Chains A and B, each alone.
Chain A
Amino acid sequence: AQTVTQSQPEMSVQEAETVTLSCTYDTSENNYYLFWYKQPPSRQMILVIRQEAYKQQNATENRFSVNFQKAAKSFSLKISDSQLGDTAMYFCAFLGNAGNMLTFGGGTRLMVKP
């Protein structure tokens, strides 16, 4: 079974600065997919970014980018130029190639301060 660990329960960052959220996972699979989801106070789960394990290039989506280290089983999320609207819970999630159930980490609560 896969496990996903987010070691930072809470983080804060000043508006306009950069913050990195950590995620590690454990799997015996070689092909898999990793995701970051954002859950603002509205409770909606919003996809932030996804990474295919077979791709060496790190995924980027505007101000969001990942540092995917397959050998280390690490998948961190970097948010550049943080905005107040980035305040949310962030969940790292793993999806195996054979299955279709997401395994989530425990989440990191991010507060962006003005």
Chain B
Amino acid sequence: EADIYQTPRYLVIGTGKKITLECSQTMGHDKMYWYQQDPGMELHLIHYSYGVNSTEKGDLSSESTVSRIRTEHFPLTLESARPSHTSQYLCASRGQQNYGYTFGSGTRLTVV
């Protein structure tokens, strides 16, 4: 049902590597979000965007950065991964009329 896609689903990388987590949606939603979650714990907002060329930091401090060059695409980048970045990253979007959020399947990142 959800038309929001995240890749990769799982990623194991070495410390110091640069990585980009992809998130795309085909629903034409203006608002997109990145959440970070440790297994079974609550979700914390790290970045959000209300439209093209609009990005903001969320409630949880993060060393990652985001960009929003196209409506459908909201990638998240870590310039230099560290073991403390090990977590699940969930992307979400919502449209103008309906405030309900739709989530992607998530990327489970492990930095060794």
Q: Do A and B bind each other?
A: no
